[in-house]
Structure 1
Amino acid sequence: MRFIVAFAIVFTLAFLCAKPVRKAPVALYAIAVALDLLYLYGMTSGANTGASTGFWAAFLPFMQRCTLAFAFFAVVMFIGVLKEGSPVKTKLMAIRRQLSITACILTLCHIAYYVYTYFFQVIQATGDVPTANLAISFTISGILLVLFVVLLITSFNVVKRRMHAKTWKSVQRWAYAFFGLMYVHLAVILLPPVLAGKEIAITSMTVYTIVFAAYAILRIWRARADTPK
């Protein structure tokens, strides 16, 4: 599955490139922006046709379906449940903020595509009333977008330094709600094809459920383990 491949690549690169990312995070952000622009070019140049093959057939779904961005978010999530003082957590914790910002940048093309597709092409053009499933998805997406913007803005040091430490930590705790709603969002989208017996959707739903369930269990366990006796 695409997500497993993306997660393995992101985790490996994050671990191997932690030092240069910490020293020059702007380079990582620039790469993420370049990928967004490449995706935009692919979508507007006709490379997204059903007959597309090779690079575009592999690249466009990674970006459009937020697979690569979610892989970054997943790495950010699981960094938080690693054992304190472990070599992996020590190395990755230093760039957790940078990975989170990169994930947000990569999410922009996903947001732009679906906002344009559903709001401007489907609803505005035809005047059709969205189905209950689509309406729920829109609502969740709206909440996610608000949390996304708040978490992204407050992740930058220039904003963080202007905030009280306690306030900043309180705002960043909304990341848990963001991760939870992300799963609900995925579940709402995948539920119809899952019920229809679509094998790809069933596989995707299974993988995402395992990922989020594992994170929830490990996060609770880590919180209990770190609580003073």
Structure 2
Amino acid sequence: MTLPVPTDPQETAPLPVTVSSAQTAVADMRATARWTVAATAAVGGVLLGGLPFAAIGKLHGGGDLALAVGGLAVAMAGVFWVIWATGEVLTPRFVTLTSLDGPGLAGLRAAVQREPEAFFGPFGASAAELDRSCRHHTQTAARIARLLVTETDDVRRARLTHWLGVARSNAAHARARRRALLELVHAWQVRATLRRARIHTLLASLLVVAGAVLFLLATDGG
């Protein structure tokens, strides 16, 4: 008697492809960084494009010229500082599970330790255990698939097909958990970089203001 072969659950119900909230957060943070860079570049364009030519007739002597050039240089240094610091947010990052132990992720590590099941599900209580589960279920599915190729008994083929579906489903869910964790680590890294960039932007803005003041003093009626 030939038994019906169970359908592979991976073929009938594949995991949906979705955009996680972590990916959305990264996109929003990078949009903020791009806006900051664009606004700062516009300020730099004004400093380089308009002010020097407008002030040529107001400079009297080498002292005023040196003060104006120095002020302009200080202001432009602040502009470049903002662009450099904020540009770090836009830099592509290579993230692995070991990145969870990196600097700036203490808050995420604390959340993972408080509720490991929310991050790892049934696949362990740490990033290392989750990674091992991914490899284990993937290797198990591969071994069952090899056995299924050479198996001729209908009963055993039905059982192997069933367990192949289970192994593939487990592997897919473990990989989904790992991918979600990697995306969260990535988002947390970008968040930390954006926070640092905001501090740099504040300090650099003071530098721009100081440079502008020096420039105005040099061109203030001689």
TM range (shorter): under 0.3
Q: Report the TM-score when normalising by structure 2.
A: 0.28
Q: Report the TM-score when normalising by structure 1.
A: 0.27
Q: Which has the larger radius of gyration?
A: 2
Query: Bigger relative contact order, structure 1 or 2, given CA contacts below 8 A and separation 6+?
Result: 2
